[in-house]
Amino acid sequence: MSGFSVAWLDLRESADHAARDPELLRQSLEWLAQKRNPTVVDLGSGTGSTLRAFGGEATNLQWHLVDLDPTLLAEATRRHGATHQLATHITDLTQLDRLPLADAALVTASALFDLASREFCDALVARLRLSGTGLYAALNYDGTTDWSPRHPLDGQVLQSFNRDQLRDKGFGPALGPGATDYLASLFKKAGFRVSIKPSPWRLEVGNGLLVKELLRGIAAAAAAEQTLDKRALEAWLSFRLGNVAEGSCTIGHLDLLALPG
């Protein structure tokens, strides 16, 4: 999986950091503090947003950033190579045997598992169970969106977008909004302690550029799904773009922390 630009990741980062549940982030750090030479493996790391979310404590950890995009990893190294214990891995996440998980105390991922398949999650959880490694998976889309002001087509666009979220995103058919529940069920069966907290994006006037890009992406996904009238969808997008300055939206996400019991 790849295809995200540095510009897009930078644009969304402030919203991501504001949305993260602080309690699960704190518990992740407490788990790592119990370990000698704690190692974190960040899947789909991009430029290192998860590392930055960990704040000053991140400098006490050994980081393995894993992504298929060498440009994103090069940017992560430029930003953090001199200040953090950092290794980067240009790796296809679906090739689980190539992931550097051997010494990991915690695997992290942000906005990843809603793109993943059942098969990928099954295989990853099985491997983490054997090694006693925890997982901190933040910002998984939960299928809910609330716009203000409202438009009569909001519900249909959301349904169309959510169906599109189940397409293959590089791992096989994606779990989409069901990802967090599916992961939770796997970890509970494996004997892990599982906590889930909401982490919604709350986007208002200051997030105008992000909202515009988000709207165009939603409209493109809904158009590709081909169940909505083209002119109606264009009218919806025009209305939504015209209300960015005064409007707001909430995009639902969920954070999950699973630790060996």
91, part of any domain? yes
Tens of pLDDT, residues 185-221:
999 999 999 999 999 999 998 899 999 999 999 999 9
Domain total of the chain: 1
189, 191, 193, 198 alpha-carbon torsion, rounded to 10°: -20
Residue 150, domain member (yes or no): no
pLDDT tens-digit readout, 1-10: 446 899 999 9
Whether this prediction's pTM lies above 0.85 is answered by yes
Asked whether residue 163 is assigned to any structural domain, the reply reads no
Count other C-beta atoms under 10 Å from residue 85's C-beta.
16
Q: pLDDT tens digits, residue range 144-181?
A: 999 999 999 999 999 999 999 999 999 999 999 999 99
Decide if 162 is inside a domain: no
User: Which residue segment(s) compose the domain that 126 sits in?
Assistant: 6-143+168-202+252-260
Say if 245 falls within a structural domain: no
CB 115 within 8 A of CB 141: no
208: tokens are 């105008």
- As a whole-number percent, the residues of the chain with pLDDT over 90 amount to 96
Structural domain includes residue 224: no
Residue 237 forms part of a structural domain: no
CATH code at position 104: 3.40.50.150
The pLDDT tens digits for 77-96 are: 999 999 999 999 999 999 99
